[in-house]
Chains A and B, each alone.
Chain A
Amino acid sequence: MRWFFLVSVAAVVWLLRALPGFVLADAGASALVAFGLLTIGGELAGEVAARLRVPRITGYLVLGMAFGPFVLGLVSAPDLDSLRVFEELALGLIALTAGGELQLASLRKRWKLIVGITASHAVGIFLGAAGLFWLILRVFPFLGPLGPAEMAGAATLIGIITVAKSPATTIAVITELKATGSLVDTVLGITVLKDLVILIFFTWVNGIVHGWLGGPGDVSGGVTSLAATVGLSLLAGGGLGLLLGTYLSKIGLHPEITVLAVVLLSLEIAHGSGLEHLLISMAAGFAARNLFPASATGFLRALERSSPPIYVIFFGLIGAGLDIRVFATAWLAVLILFAVRLGLVWGVTGAMARALRADPPIRRWAWMGFVAQAGLSLGLAARVAREFPNFGGALAAVVVGAVVVNQVAGPILWRHALVASGEAG
């Protein structure tokens, strides 16, 4: 009955969109309809997902894909643009929660493991993927005919995008399952650190590839500027966290709206000065939690409890933005990329965890927390498409396809890992 209702409403919305004169009349109203559809549909899809023992966010994503502009078209591309602020807001809240989850004491205990696995990903997965794809492109030229330098450049860029993962997805599954333990702490720590590393690393590799292909390849300048961006983002986030913690401990009025303001402030700082919104919010959560543990902890717990509507809209919008039409043309390349990445993540994480004598759950299950890919990978793919017109478009399409598969498989695997390791609440 509930699904019958959703299908009926979707049909009505489809009819409204089909009739000329409705959609264009009011963009704000159209965005509200899209918001409503994604929220209601996401809630129902999340329930089905929970019954199937997969994470709710997989339901939100699949529903978003179905309603998005590339399948049913109930949520249009202009709607996605109008709702972008919700996506960024949700990302900020998720990052704030993630930062709040990181405790200094726990990080001190595990820093070797966190740094070790992050470094192994940055080097091992990157080199493995780049090398393998350099070979694959010779046998199976899915990006079209490329010269040796272009082939090396494309393989290197695939390598770096393969390292990227989705912090939001990892955190969402942890929050949904109310998971705690050594596996959670380690994967969260790596998630945050990897986010810092990947941005610098991509800029560095991007500069090198530009150099190979005869473009502007100012590697050191780009990396220095990005390192400064990361440093300033962390500093700005720390300041915001200090502000938030002080407010929560001294005044404490309307904390939910205060946090919303902190996230928006982070968004405005990021937009205005080119800093990283995700990093600012994460640092703010981290600073608030570790500098003002008494007042921030309870509040962050409350934020987690009220997270379902945030996740519904965030992952619904992510799903709606994924172009799954790429499977029709490049399904084999997509599956190869997915399989190579999965194998490398499993092998490299497991090897490093064993080398550093990590706890058994980390050795066995941690890799599953690094499978999901979303916004960061899509952003990198879009940059590649823009900056490398020869092969960037085709490469971005394959990456988007792989992100779709990773984003569906990642949360399911991560949920399995948390349940199997006994850390799910």
Chain B
Amino acid sequence: MLKGTLAFVLLLILALAGADLKRRWSRGRRRLPGFEGFVTVLVGALLGNAGLGLFPADLTAALRPVVLLGLAWIGLLVGLQFDVRLLRWIQPWQRWMGFLVPFGAGSIAGGAALAVGCGLHGSILLAAVAMISSPRLIGVFLRSGPPADRSAMRLIRLVTALASTPALIVYGVGMTLMVPAGGPLGRAAESVVGAGLAVVLGYATIILLRREHEEIHVLALLLGIVALLAGAATMIRTEPMLTAAIAGAIISNRGHLAHRALRAAHAIETPMLTAILVLLGAWWLPRVPSLAVCAVLVGIRGAAMVAGGGAMAAVARGHGVRLRTRLLGMGLLPQGPLALALLVGGAVAGGVDAAFAGGIFTALVINHAIGGAWMHGVLFRRATRSGGRHA
């Protein structure tokens, strides 16, 4: 059996190399890209507790600081991409629908999870995961050619871009409230201090980055800030991902150097994400995935997204937007690695078992397949043909 740190880095290399090989192999063979993070989690699962059992059973516990740092880094990235100036440019109805559709679908899925006995902790986590829709697939398809329905594609992109904000808020607030009371400051004061710390460190980052021109020093400073945020947030019993996201949003909206921070943050996004996903795989025990969780996240969330997409299509038509399809919600089904990151966060916070995690993971893969197939077959149908000819 290998030791924690080495085991972790070996897992990381295998996961990254596996993902690269898969990408090379699938290039030119399939038009629908695989679920991002799937190989990473799979490698972890095959070599970890669920598979060969090569690595220590307490790997996740031993590397908790790495997981906290990784989650806070993802949170910072989400925050850095939250730009109020961009929100002002879109029409109010688009803004409302963009937030309401994922929030509504997530709330319905969360309520259903509570009804089938997932518990409050699991239901909040599931609600947050259900709100997330990935913009990645659209980006991939767009590279092969224009969509058949440009207006529908724009609306789907809008929602997928905004969906991470309600998801992160629900996740962060929910997880913070789920921490048992008994801290030295009291729950309300801890939340206020956590938010205050995020704001102060966000402004501090702007000041710190002003004179830094070399990317490596920007990266070092960001790493320090995120470590400080993750550690301090955990110490005062608030959610590190949300705290980092608030700091990221401050940097993005109050500074003129947000692009520097974003570039540096993106530079190690893949290793950070891979690190936490591979740990998720290694932590997962061989349990039958929870059918109830899977059904809620696929069936209930899918129905809610399709209904929300229909409502959005109706509102859009009312505002004079010409749409060829009403099934916008189908395009909101695919979910990205942010959903998996939330799952890791939930697992670190406790209260998530392997069956629950397996249920969510299975549902994410199914949602990706259904939503991806719809996009491929309907939204980008003509583009695929013309793209093929072009190629």
Instruction: Let me know if A106 is at the binding interface, CB within 8 A.
Output: no
* Contact status A40-B221, CB under 8 Å: yes
Report the separation of the CA atoms of residues A123 and B23 in the bound assembly, to the nearest whole angstrom.
59
Interface bits B218-239 vs A (CB < 8 Å: 1, else 0)? 0111011111111110111100
Are A29 and B65 in contact, with the CB atoms below 8 A? Answer: yes
Could you tell me how many residues of chain A have their Cβ less than 8 Å away from some Cβ of chain B?
A: 51
With contacts A28-B68, A31-B65, A39-B221 taken as known, whether A16 is within 8 angstroms of B232 at the C-beta atoms is: yes
The B186-205 residues at the A interface (CB cut-off 8 A) are 197, 200-201, 204
Interface string of A287-319 (1 = CB under 8 A from B): 000000000000000000110110010000000
Chain A nearest CB, measured from B10 CB (Å): 6
Complex: A7 Cα to B257 Cα, angstroms: 23
Decide if A52 is an interface residue (CB 8 Å cutoff). no
Which single member of A1, A39, A47 contacts B224 (CB below 8 Å)? A39
List chain A residues, Cβ under 8 A from B201: 9
Q: When each residue 35-64 of chain A gets 1 if its CB lies under 8 Å from chain B and 0 otherwise, what string results?
A: 111111001100100000000000000000
Chain A hits for B236, CB < 8 A: 16, 22
B217 at the interface (CB under 8 A from A): yes
The reply to whether A5 and B207 contact each other, CB–CB distance below 8 Å, is yes
Is there contact, CB below 8 Å, between A32 and B234? yes
* Across-interface contacts of A312 in B (CB, < 8 A): 220
> Is B64 an interface residue, CB under 8 A from the partner?
yes
Interface positions, chain B 205-263, Cβ under 8 Å from A, are 207-208, 211, 216-217, 219-221, 223-232, 234-237
Instruction: Decide if B2 touches A268 in the complex (CB within 8 Å).
Output: yes
Instruction: Give the complex CA separation of A164 and B12 in angstroms.
Output: 37
Q: Does A258 contact B (CB under 8 A)?
A: yes
| Chain B hits for A12, CB < 8 A | 197, 200, 232
Known: A28-B234, A29-B235. A2 touches B216 (CB 8 A): no
CB 8 Å contact bits of A73-88 with B (1 = contact, 0 = none): 0000000001001000
**Chain B residue contacts of A305, Cβ below 8 A:** 216
A419: interface (CB < 8 Å): no
Which residues on A sit within 8 Å (CB–CB) of B64? 28
Stretch in A200-208, A259-267, A362-370 with 4+ CB within 8 Å of B: A259-267
B249 to chain A, nearest CB (A): 19
| Bitwise interface map of B from 5 to 49 toward A, beta carbon under 8 Å scored 1, else 0 | 110011011001100100000000000000000000000000000
A257 adjacent to B226 (CB under 8 Å): no
Residues in B whose Cβ lies below 8 Å from that of A26:
234-235
Given the interface pairs A5-B207, A39-B223, A253-B20, the reply to whether A268 lies near B184 with Cβ below 8 Å is no
Report the separation of the CA atoms of residues A19 and B6 in the bound assembly, to the nearest whole angstrom.
35
Given contacts A33-B235, A257-B9, contact A9 B221 (CB under 8 A): no
- The verdict on B183 contacting chain A, using a C-beta distance below 8 Å, is yes
Q: Does A30 contact B (CB under 8 A)?
A: yes
Contact A39 B6 (CB under 8 A): no
Please determine whether B12 and A257 come into contact, CB atoms closer than 8 angstroms.
yes
Is A268 in contact with B223, judged by CB distance below 8 angstroms? no
Whether, in the assembled complex, B3 has its beta carbon less than 8 Å from a beta carbon of chain A, the answer is: yes
Least CB separation from B231: chain A residue: A32
A residues less than 8 Å from B204 (CB atoms)? 5, 8-9
- Taking CB atoms and an 8 Å cut-off, the chain A residues in 180-199 that contact chain B are none
| Cα A1 to Cα B12 with chains together (Å) | 39
Q: How far is the CB of B333 from chain A (nearest CB, A)?
A: 31
Overall SS of chain A's interface: helix
Annotate A339-377 by CB proximity to B: 1 below 8 A, 0 otherwise. Answer: 000000000000000000000000000000000000000
Indicate if the CB atoms of B230 and A29 lie closer than 8 Å. Answer: yes
- A20 to chain B: closest residue by CB: B184
Question: What residues on A are CB-neighbors of B200 within 8 Å?
Answer: 8-9, 12
The CA of A16 and the CA of B236, in the complex, are separated in Å by 8
A222 to B64, CA, bound (A): 40
B386 to chain A, nearest CB (A): 34
Q: Verify A261–B10 contact, CB threshold 8 A.
A: yes
Closest beta carbon of chain A to B87's beta carbon, Å: 28
Give A40 to B224 CA distance when docked, in angstroms: 5
Interface centre among B69, B227, B237 (most CB of A within 10 A): B227
Nearest chain-A residue to B267 (Cβ)?
A306
Answer whether residue A13 sits at the interface, using C-beta atoms and an 8 A cutoff. Answer: yes
Most buried by B among A32, A257, A261: A32
Provide the bound-state CA to CA distance between A2 and B197, in Å: 16
Q: Is A108 an interface residue (CB 8 A)?
A: no
Given contacts A257-B12, A305-B216, contact A1 B207 (CB under 8 A): yes
Contact B13 A257 (CB under 8 A): yes
Contacts of B235 in A (CB 8 A): 16, 22-23, 25-26, 29-30, 33
Q: A residues within 8 A CB of B230?
A: 29, 32, 36
A251 to B14, CA, bound (A): 13
> How far is B213's CA from A43's CA once the two chains are assembled, in angstroms?
13
| B310 interfacial by beta-carbon distance below 8 Å | no
Q: Is the CB of B6 within 8 A of A268?
A: yes
Contact B227 A253 (CB under 8 A): no
In the complex, B271 has a CB within 8 A of chain A: yes
Complex Cα gap A33–B64 (Å):
14
Cβ contact within 8 Å between B16 and A32: no
Per the bound structure, the CA–CA distance linking A1 and B17 in Å amounts to 44
> Shortest distance in angstroms between A299's beta carbon and chain B's nearest beta carbon?
15
Residue of A nearest to B183 (CB): A21
Q: Check: A254 CB closer than 8 A to any chain B CB.
A: yes
Q: In the A-B complex, list the 6 residue pairs whose CB atoms are closest, starting with the nearest.
A: A36-B228, A32-B231, A39-B224, A33-B231, A29-B234, A36-B227
A to B CB contacts below 8 Å, 30 in the list: A2-B208, A2-B211, A9-B201, A9-B204, A12-B200, A12-B232, A28-B65, A28-B231, A29-B230, A30-B235, A31-B231, A32-B227, A32-B234, A33-B228, A33-B235, A35-B65, A35-B228, A36-B228, A36-B229, A37-B224, A39-B220, A40-B221, A43-B224, A251-B17, A257-B13, A257-B271, A261-B9, A264-B9, A265-B6, A309-B223
